[in-house]
Amino acid sequence: MKKKMRQFFRPSNIILSLIMLLIALTMLVPILNLLAKSLSDPQAVSGMKGYQIWPSGLNLINYEIIFNNQVVWTALKNSVFITVVGTGVNILMTTSLAYALTRPNLVGKKAIMIFLIIMMIFEPGIIQEYFVVKDLHLLDSLWSMVLYRSVSVYNVILLMRFFQETPEVLLEAAKIDGAGHMRILFSIFLPLNKVPIMTVGMFYAVYRWNEFFHSSIFLSSRSNTVLQVFLRQFVVEGDTTALSALGSIDLSAISMSALRAATIIVTIVPILVLYPFILKYYTSGVLTGGVKE
């Protein structure tokens, strides 16, 4: 015990702990500062320092304004729709492709794998992607973003590694019962590979929630915008027209800075809520999958 204590108080350990604490604070304080500003009285926000992580004059008015805004509400709904439906499509397509490709003696497997790897390394240009979506008459439709990135080759390869390890013996009984591939996939493979499937599900869901570039190009109208694009217009481009379109609010009584903070917090919350799961599954995926995300 004594030795342990001495070790703990060695100057080098204290310095190291302080440095690490500082690094962690650099990541936390700016976010907590925004949280504090979003919960503060709009009049007090401009006087708040960057390190202040407690609200000045606790007030929920900023969130009230945001959630009473039609544009924010629509954007939030659209983001949730694209993330949920899109991730569903992702999981369905990725698991069926990985399943089929890991069946023994599949004719043409090698050709398909080469095709997929070419798809992974050569990305189409953004202009042509725009034209394809236009030709499909999907411009300004949420479905463009649901379908875009339906499958990621990297995730297919990751899943294949797990599916390959599923023992053939387990399938024999089902095959004798006359179960088809669909039933084998859903009743045997999915339950056995819950962790890897959740992992790719998390990869997709986080990607979809955070996507803003293609959404800003494919979804042009305000009724089809998503949260990240709205946030970008509001925070990065400083466009406040969506918010000031509100009739009932006295513009002099609100603080744009606090509203920005509140919008950012709303955008982060789903990630924070899911953070324990995201960490658990991402970590397992990264460690089996190698170096790339």
Report the site for other proteins in 26-85 (rule: CB under 8 A).
26-31, 33-34, 37, 46, 48-51
Here the tokens at position 261 are: 């903070």
Residue 216 vs 248, nearer CB to other proteins: 216
What is the SS3 assignment for 35? helix
Site for other proteins in 185-214 (CB under 8 A): 185, 206, 209-213
Based on the shown chain and the rule CB under 8 A, indicate whether residue 5 belongs to the binding site for other proteins.
no
Using CB atoms within 10 A of its CB, is residue 179 exposed (0-12), middle (13-18) or buried (19+)?
middle
Rounded to a whole number of angstroms, the minimum distance from the CB of residue 158 to other proteins is: 10
Q: How many binding residues for other proteins (CB under 8 A)?
A: 97
27-60 burial: b if 16+ Cβ within 10 Å, else e: eeeeeebbbbbbbbbbeebeebeeeebebbeebe
Determine, following the binding rule CB under 8 A, whether residue 23 of this chain makes contact with other proteins.
Answer: yes
Kindly identify the residues of this chain, within the stretch 90-149, that bind other proteins according to CB under 8 A. 92-94, 96-97, 99-101, 103, 105-108, 112, 115-117, 119-132, 136, 147-148
Report the alpha-carbon distance of residue 236 to residue 245 in Å, rounded: 19
Question: With CB under 8 A as the contact rule, which of the stretches 164-172, 189-197, 248-256, 258-266 interacts with other proteins?
Answer: 258-266
Q: Helix 109-121 vs helix 70-101: angle between axes, to the nearest 10 degrees?
A: 150
Question: How far apart are the C-alpha atoms of 17 and 6, rounded to whole Å?
Answer: 15
User: For other proteins, which residue of 44, 80, 84, 153 counts as binding (CB under 8 A)?
Assistant: 153
Instruction: Identify the residue among 11, 167, 178, 180 touching other proteins (CB under 8 A).
Output: 180
